[in-house]
Structure 1
Amino acid sequence: MQFFVYFTMIEGKRMNPPTPEGMAKLGKFMEKSFESDTIVSTGKLPQKVTQIELSKGEISISDGPFVEGKELIPGFTVIRTDTKEEAIEWARELRECMGDGVIKLAQLSGTSQDDMKM
């Protein structure tokens, strides 16, 4: 099972970076997660994106930003676990490293390269 783990900006709230202790804990946690192959990918989504639209047979391409600040996903991780409970535990531990805030977890559906190897 794969899960999209992310957080969004909260309108009117400034995000505080993790404490130095939290950063050290986060570094060890992420290293453990990469070594165990729990993390599939991680990164951030920019506010500026390219939009490709097909309308009445015509393609138009335009650059954003199209995402409002409150919808911005500044950081995400795709993880692989055997159960939703394991994914929740992983996200809980990540949130504890980062400090106060909200993390959201969404199970991905579809086919991955891993599925094709079976």
Structure 2
Amino acid sequence: MFSDLPRNAGEPVFREPWEAKAFAMAVELHARGLFTWPEWAQALSGAIREAQAGGDPDCGDSYYHHWLAALETMVVTRAVATTEGLARRREAWHRAAAATPHGEPIELGRDGTPVPPA
């Protein structure tokens, strides 16, 4: 199923926490019936092809960026989210990251506003 994932000792390797979260989201959305694995493979390969056409050298360090692009495509094509809604959430995340002290977790409220550190 996930034969192209970066691995170490047979286990998926995540360089950043967000990569593990993106992986988990794809698994959960599949479990909820949003897409089949063949549909996912098509979306992921499409995201990789698009990135390579745009100059991505495919050194392995951008794999989960492709994963995230495929997730965004799936939720938009399945009408779970809109492109505009995703853009607003991304902007809110960047604002929250800028407002969060280094080393503290970045958090957004349900409304997309930054949650101040405790």
Q: For the superposition of Structure 1 and Structure 2, which TM-score range results when normalised by the shorter chain?
A: under 0.3
* TM, length-normalised to structure 1: 0.26
CA radius of gyration, larger in: 1
Higher relative contact order (CA 8 A, sep 6+): 1
Query: More strand by proportion, 1 or 2?
Result: 1
* TM, length-normalised to structure 2: 0.26
Query: More helix by proportion, 1 or 2?
Result: 2
